[in-house]
Amino acid sequence: MCKSNTLAKLKIAQANKQNRLCFHCDFPMWDGDPAPFSERYHHFSGLLDRFLCTAEHLTPRMDGGKDTQENVVAACKFCNQTRHKMRNVLSPTAYRRHVRRRIVAGKWHPSECHHLLKWRSGGPSEVSRPLRTSDKAPLSAIQLSNGN
């Protein structure tokens, strides 16, 4: 089995575990065909690309990170690329905190994407999915504890 195939499978498995939400920003992601995503969340042209589901290495491959379940999560293309564009790549926890803070401040995804979050947390019933509270603090909780 070729290596990229393993990674693709890992990505899908992790995405499903994460309810298809980005590991960092918690926005919904699409994989393969963008049409259903675009239909479900109202079409927004030019912005679909950033929500493509990608495999994110928590420890970057160049630092010896492996293609394993422990090291790979599903993240949207934008979060993934932005993290690795940083001069000092933040740790997953620090980056996640950074991303959530930026979202609350309206400085991450463009404001026309923010309805994705609303839909995700109890929008029209045909698109609402059971949300697991596991290790993810909902955005509203971060907002409350953040104070600024």
Residues that bind Zn ion (CB under 5 A): 22, 24-25, 76, 79
Nearer to Zn ion, 79 or 125 (CB): 79
CA–CA separation, 71 and 57 (whole Å)? 6
Nearer to Zn ion, 126 or 135 (CB): 135
DSSP state of 113: G
Nearer to Zn ion, 79 or 116 (CB): 79
Nearer to Zn ion, 1 or 13 (CB): 13
Least distance to Zn ion, CB of residue 22, Å: 3
Question: In terms of Cα–Cα distance, which of 95, 114, 111, 50 is closest to 77?
Answer: 50
CA–CA separation, 65 and 98 (whole Å)? 22
Count of C-beta atoms within a 10 Å radius of residue 135: 5
Contact, 105 vs 139, CB < 8 A?
no
Least distance to Zn ion, CB of residue 24, Å: 5
Least distance to Zn ion, CB of residue 17, Å: 16
Least distance to Zn ion, CB of residue 53, Å: 10
